[in-house]
Amino acid sequence: MLNDQVIPFFEQQELRLLRVLTDRGTEYCGIREQHEYQLYLAIEDIDHTKTKAKSPQTNGICERFHRTIQEEFYAIAFRKKIYRSIEELQLDLNSWLLYYNNERTHTGKHCYGKTPMQTFLDSKAMAKEKLLETLAEEQKILTFGSKDNIG
């Protein structure tokens, strides 16, 4: 999903994904040289931040999303329909996610009654500025660290 949907979305927005926050599950964490996810993040030059162990509040936004998807999608979907395949369920979930991100307003910390997509688009200029600052800082480090500038 990160490779097929998230990174291409950021590229369409002319942004670069700089950091990913995950829990400490084995699907995300391992020895960088041997773990597919860790290796992928290293290749894509994406920093990996992990939540504090046994502290779900560290990842509160994600935990709240899990509760919302359970209450507003799964609990309802399985009462309305018998799914004959995971693909059929995925199609309905994708439709719900479009609604969730583009139509359903949120009252959370950053949305203030807007949709997540509106919030993202409103903060895009700030994200581009942050990206430019990060790239400039990386360039300074590269330039300062080169052998031509030592001595």
pLDDT tens digits for 91-137? 999 999 999 999 999 987 778 899 999 999 998 888 888 877 777 77
**Could you give the CA distance from residue 112 to residue 92 in angstroms, rounded to a whole number?**
27
Task: Return the closest-CA partner of residue 96 out of 113, 81, 111.
Answer: 81
Instruction: Delimit the domains of the chain by residue range.
Output: 1-50
Q: How far does Cα 44 stand from its chain's mean position?
A: 14
d(CA 78, CA 84): 11
What pLDDT was estimated at residue 117? 94
Q: Calculate mean pLDDT across residues 43-58.
A: 86
Query: What is the C-alpha to C-alpha distance for residues 84 and 23, in angstroms, rounded to an integer?
Result: 31
Name, in order, each residue with C-beta under 8 angstroms of 47's C-beta and a sequence gap of 6 or more: 18, 19, 20, 41
